[in-house]
Amino acid sequence: MIPLRDDEPSHSKPVVTIALIVANVAFFVYELSLGARLQEFLMSAAFVPARMFDGGAPDGGGLQLGGALLSMFLHGGWAHIGGNMLFLWIFGDNVEDRLGHLRFIVFYLACGLAATYAQAVAQPDLAVPTVGASGAIAGVLGAYLLLYPAARIHTLLFLGFLITSIQVPALVYLPVWFLLQLLSGVAALGAQTSAEAGGVAWFAHIGGFVAGPLLFFALGGRRKRQREPRRASPWR
């Protein structure tokens, strides 16, 4: 099921969400420019779970903080970045609207770090770079479910040769999404290569989704919108 849009308007321009999408696209263009040197770059600069426990991090620390932050803006292909940016565009503006621009930046990066380290703890022997914004965006999805459980997600549904559009409540769509990540993650336990893990850091998705609501509250977010002095016109 591919989300197309939601029916929850945001009341402020999602400048951070837009900036994050632009940054991700810019990094992806840089990856494309590396050509044959891309794999060498990823192995030296991105986050590798196995290095967290063997002390082999290039930046001198087992946490590989620099690599973990960089990995949030790197992607493994067109479908990878396209899917991630679609989810960030649909769900990010509403969470940014509730947190405010500055807190949303902190929230997004913190979700990404939580997701990255969850993946490392779940699969400590994984010796390949884990890249992508998926973990941070999973945190956005977790917070969105907390804030807008009744929202309708307009979804593209494939039924064999039939393609149709349906509306699915967030209270159904997002838990189903999480369950699929959880089942896939359990199936990938013990993998040491990207191919064995299905090419997806499932536990980053799981960790990010769980961290999202917790970090939302930790940053002072509120489930109910505070009453405003005057009615704001929806941005979209």
Q: Evaluate whether 115 touches 134 at the Cβ level (below 8 Å).
A: yes
DSSP secondary structure of 153-202: EEEEEEETTEEEEEEEEHHHHHHHHHHHHHHHHHHHTT--STTTTTT--H
Q: Does domain 2-218 sit in CATH 1.20.1540.10?
A: yes
Sheet holding 2-6, edge to edge: 2-6, 152-159, 162-169
Q: Is 46 exposed, middle or buried (0-12, 13-18, 19+ CB in 10 A)?
A: buried
pLDDT digits (tens, 9 = 90+) for 89-141: 999 999 999 999 999 999 999 999 999 999 999 988 888 899 999 999 999 99
DSSP state of 47: -
pLDDT digits (tens, 9 = 90+) for 161-205: 888 899 999 999 999 999 999 999 888 776 545 445 557 889 999
What is the reported pTM? Answer: 0.89
Q: Return the bridge partners of 159, or none.
A: 162
